[in-house]
Structure 1
């Protein structure tokens, strides 16, 4: 019975993960062209919308209170439904304030599903299986990005923006309604606490989560910008790089989960942060267009290693703390999104290399922090 529940939950999460990924990919792929060519927005408008997009990530802790009135798997399906609604109406509201509204709706759906997705995976799969499941889901995420990009590429010459948004949005809404009819719950699992959980013994998880969020902002906000600004990457070259990146990650993501099981979180995360120190420094030194593309792909590969932070938490957490702690962790992960892009922009004005030196420094801090994992695990075993 337990295996059947695990299988049902895996299929449930897999379908919703594909929908969630496709929704974000459609929004990101069409956003700039729609904003510039249809809505006629300027740079300051784009900046405001991108900042608005991060607000739901900061408010992910509210998931804890939503769980007081709705079951977690239902909230997952509802979040994807909200994402689908946000995507589908984006093309129908071609104005600055319309895009702010649709971005908020889409982003709330995306971030709240990601929070419950992580929580349900850690609840339903044991410490040896969870890394493999995370790896598989990451693999399907990469495959979804590839397929969604190819579909957009093939349909774009024939459909207007509003039709593309509406098509994908309605498909996502349909899948979300299917998920709402499913009941993959295992009622023998420990019930989750329905209140905010912040414990001093989880300090390492909180610190690693914050640093991972800061590293993500360096990558998201400045890596592609560097390729366009300094190395004059064209839209086509960026698209090819994205496609290649997702194909590579489709095959490697499963391997990452296997490595976590075999070698443990400390070694995997140590490899990530040790490598990132040199990758960030290499961003500042290279003048090769080919090398900067390779660095981008390596950067994204190591980004997937962050699943080890969640599986580490699974090993030290009380089973009842997983759902509220994932919500708190998702909020902590997004704190850096509030100030780091702006701070990085100021550093860029002085010297773009300072941004990536800061990324290298943060990687050093993270490398030191992950050495505490073994101590944390021993203390948990002694409790």
Structure 2
């Protein structure tokens, strides 16, 4: 009895150590994300001079790794989550080095953008899986919120580096990408220190179960709405209101500060109110934000429209934390705990089926009718997301 209790304490201490290391990983990734998110769209606009339709088309190769991630993760499943996460960090690092130093042509930029995107998308389903595996069921929401909060605090550093660098230190896009690559490399090093035991299965594994159908549909619908915001919200601010990298860095700081609070609140609300409440509320708020994006330019002067659009951009990005509610919903309904990572990966791939096509359609719609109709389309998707969220049912965790 005493030996069993000692073993339990030892496992708990190991989990806490690994969780702390994983927080550091998230912190380092946050700095990189703050840098890349502040400059990437301006990089495309300033270096390659893309139109709105071109920007939509670029999303096809950018999101292709996300579509294929279920197969990549299945092939790498014998390595275990932590080792796969290290590969993801190295891929992101290599992609950023390529974007900064090895992309004199548009074609080469596409190649290295895909390498970077592969690292990002490989980490997406792995991150919540590792976080929840290091947590008790009743703590899923709060533990993921803690990881996300430290990640967001770190993005403040990334945004600050961009603002200071481009405003006072003559940074260029090459410098920004190199700096972000270094932090991804550090994250890979920290991951190598984690000693969480790896899964026992050593074979190619994919999971697609009928019982997870609602989760898959939620991922698809969310992917459509999310990709419109990710692709065209910053493009509106760049093309219509001429915002620069330092401007986006300032917006990023505001987003991070707000999100540090919202992630903790959302994490606690998931544990108390449940995923159905959180995802339904998110859908309603996103519907309102879509209308703000769509009509600000028609109803107000350009200066007021800029403020309203920027507020929509800030609030939209601040709600990205709700993504963890989809992860905790899945964790609570899985038939086999070993399904978690692979089902998260399947969700990511299904998400990216629409993520690859929606920006192309959105770009053509922008050119043909104006960006207002792109966001009205997003509002319809948000409404569908609300209807689906009401169908969520999970057992209470005691």
Bin the TM-score by the shorter chain: 0.7 to 0.9
Q: Counterparts in 2 of 1:185-196, with a 5 A limit?
A: 185=197, 194-196=204-206
What is residue 6 of structure 1 aligned with on the other side? 15
Q: Does 1:145 align with 2:155?
A: yes
* Whole-angstrom CA distance in 2 between matches of 1:203 and 1:160: 46
After TM superposition, give the deviation of residue 191 of structure 1 in Å. 6.2
Q: Residues 228 and 81 of structure 1: is their aligned pair in 2 closer, same or farther, counting only changes over 3 Å?
A: closer
Whether contact under 8 Å (2:100, 2:173) holds in the other structure is: yes
Cα shift at 1:180: 1.7
Residue pair 1:49, 1:103 contacting (<8 A) in 2 also:
no
Matched, 1:227 2:234: no
Matched, 1:263 2:273: yes
**2:285 maps to what in 1?**
275
Is 1:251 matched up with 2:250?
A: no
Q: Structure 1 residues 176, 303: CA separation in 2 closer, same or farther (over 3 Å shift)?
A: closer
Per mean C-alpha deviation after superposition, the further-off stretch among 262-271 and 170-179 is 170-179
For the structure 1 residues 63 and 119, does the alpha-carbon distance in structure 2 shift closer, same or farther, using more than 3 Å as the test? Answer: farther
2:252, 2:317 → 1: CA distance? 10
Give the distance between the partners of 2:389 and 2:382, measured in 1 at CA. 11
Residue 346 of structure 2 corresponds to residue 345 of structure 1? no
Q: Which shifted more, 309-318 or 102-111? A: 102-111
TM-score by length of 1: 0.87
Residue aligning to 1:41: 48
Residue 59 of structure 1 deviates from its aligned partner by: 1.2
Q: Is the 8 A contact 1:91 1:166 kept in 2?
A: yes
- Cα distance per residue 1:124-151 (max 9 Å; x no partner): 3233211112212222222222101212
| Residues 15-47 of structure 1 deviation map (CA, whole Å, 9 limit, x = unaligned) | 22233333344334344555566xx53327766
Distance 1:350 1:263 in 2: 41
2:5: which partner in 1? none
CA distance in 2 between partners of 1:237 and 1:153 (Å): 8
Aligned in 2, Cα 1:118/1:367: closer, same or farther, shift over 3 Å?
same
- Alpha-carbon distance, 1:48 to partner: 5.5
Gaps of 5+ in 2: 1-9
Within the candidate set 179, 183, 199, 2:195 is matched to: 183
Give the secondary structure class of the aligned counterpart of 1:125.
Answer: coil
Q: Normalized against structure 2, the TM-score is what? A: 0.84
- Cα 1:145/1:178, change in 2 over 3 Å: closer
1:285 aligns with 2:295: yes
Shift of residue 256 of structure 1? 0.8
Residue 307 (structure 1) aligns with: 324
Deviation per residue, 1:47-71 (Å, 9 max, x gap): 6654322111111102433334422
Q: 3-state DSSP class of the match of 2:214? A: helix
Deviation at 1:175, TM superposition (A): 3.5
Q: Specify the SS of the correspondent of 1:313.
A: helix
> CA-atom RMSD, angstroms?
2.8
Q: Separation in 2 of the partners of 1:94 and 1:351?
A: 31
The number of equivalent residue pairs is 374
In structure 1, stretches of 5+ residues that fail to align are: none
Q: Partners in 1 of 2:350 and 2:111 — Cα distance? A: 24
Q: Distance in 2 between matches of 1:32 and 1:303?
A: 19
- Corresponding residue SS for 1:373: coil
